[in-house]
Amino acid sequence: MSPSCSRSVKYIDFNHLILLSWNICNTSIVDLVKLSKIVTPHKLRQIFPSSEFFILSTCNRVEIYIYSDTPQAVFQSIKQFIVCESPGEEYFSDSGVFLEGMQAYLHLIKVTSGLNSLAVGEYQIQGQVKDAYKNAIRDRYIWRYLISIIESALRTGKRVRSETGICHNSGSLSFLAIDMMLQVNKPMKELPILIVGTGRMCNLAAEYFIKIGYESIIFFSNEPDERGTIKLKYKALVLPISALPERTRENNIIFSAVSPDTTRIYIESLGENWDTFSIIDLSVPKYIFRSDSDTSNVYLLDMEGVQHIAPDYLPG
């Protein structure tokens, strides 16, 4: 970042900074998905064309950071906009957390350090903040003030992770979900792990499964022919998602984290042994559904399940 764009936060007037935050602890997964489609950068630019803003949207949070000469007026404008965009669901505008000034900045530091994550200390969030930050710079939604604030929060978050013990025994949401599953079921290590998706969460899951002794991995992708790097990295097969049912075996582990545009499925469509599987589905919205008639005891952990278990979870 050029010196002309970046300045120390000690020169920032934090009275101009506000934050609206919705996360998995106060908002359902379904509502987070809806909010992410309502509060898009293009729409917010139309509401306040002269203010800087930064949207952080992940699988378990939607947050809007705004730096404005009229922060209270901007806040009321966003609330009114959300009410207008979500008829019948006006509670959206009041269900989030509103912070201002230094409290908003400190919240961002907690986010970048992993203190505000379901898997405390997880490092994925740093990359997610950086990606959203780069996009905001590219599209000119932020300039000198929010650039300084976000860069400072990223540096501080990195220091928190490196200079404290927070990252010891921590990992990612993928690691946490896998550990939760293994507390209940420990399928045979001879069976291949079936991973649906090839994004960051799926890569982290593959790395963790290999680390704990599950060496055979099969990935399923919408674009298998373009996943040569994954084939080499994990010495794995990469097959079309449509091939998943024919590759399942009794007692398989299935891990999924797919994009919202992937066609959703019911658990019974996974093959004749579906009721013996251990399934982790971290897709948002969820990828694998139980049917209304399903009375099986199949293990299916999704994001809402992680949300309920995580606060009291202690790894073995």
CATH superfamily of 9-163: Glutamyl-tRNA reductase, N-terminal domain (3.30.460.30)
**Token couple for 24:** 């998995």
Please tell me the pTM assigned to this model.
0.68
Query: What pLDDT score was predicted for residue 9?
Result: 61
Query: What pLDDT score was predicted for residue 217?
Result: 95
Q: Which residues, other chains included, contact 35 with Cβ-Cβ below 8 Å and sequence gap of 6+?
A: 22, 27, 62, 82, 92
As to burial, measured by CB atoms within 10 angstroms (0-12 exposed, 13-18 middle, 19+ buried), residue 295 is: exposed
As to burial, measured by CB atoms within 10 angstroms (0-12 exposed, 13-18 middle, 19+ buried), residue 293 is: exposed
Query: What pLDDT score was predicted for residue 206?
Result: 95
**How far, in Å, are 47, 274, 306 from residue 256 at the CA level?**
37, 15, 14
Query: What pLDDT score was predicted for residue 312?
Result: 54
- Domain 173-312 classified CATH 3.40.50.720? yes
Residues 65 and 54: beta-carbon distance below 8 Å: yes
Query: What pLDDT score was predicted for residue 148?
Result: 92
Place of tokens 């947050």: 63
Write out the residue limits of the CATH 3.30.460.30 domain(s) in the chain: 9-163
Q: Which residues, other chains included, contact 66 with Cβ-Cβ below 8 Å and sequence gap of 6+?
A: 17, 18, 19, 20, 48, 51, 52, 53, 54, 74, 75, 78
Residues 66 and 51: beta-carbon distance below 8 Å: yes
Query: What pLDDT score was predicted for residue 146?
Result: 94
Query: What pLDDT score was predicted for residue 234?
Result: 94
Q: Which residues, other chains included, contact 161 with Cβ-Cβ below 8 Å and sequence gap of 6+?
A: 113, 114, 121, 123, 126, 167
End-to-end CA distance of the chain: 44
Q: What is the pLDDT along the chain (316 residues), one digit of tens a residue?
A: 444 444 556 667 888 999 999 987 777 777 888 888 889 999 999 988 889 999 999 877 899 999 998 888 888 888 888 888 887 766 676 778 899 999 999 999 999 988 887 767 677 788 889 999 999 999 999 998 999 999 999 999 888 877 776 665 556 788 889 988 988 888 788 889 999 999 988 999 999 999 999 989 999 999 999 999 999 999 999 999 999 999 998 888 999 999 888 999 999 999 888 888 999 999 988 999 988 777 677 899 998 888 777 655 444 3
Cα–Cα distance for residue pair 253/191, rounded to 1 Å: 8
Query: What pLDDT score was predicted for residue 83?
Result: 85
**Token couple for 183:** 């507390």
Write out the residue limits of the CATH 3.40.50.720 domain(s) in the chain: 173-312
Q: How many CB atoms lie within 10 A of CB 166?
A: 16
What string of H, E and C letters represents the secondary structure of 115-158? CCCCCCCCCHHHHHHHHHHHHHHHCCCCCHHHHHHHHHHHHHHH
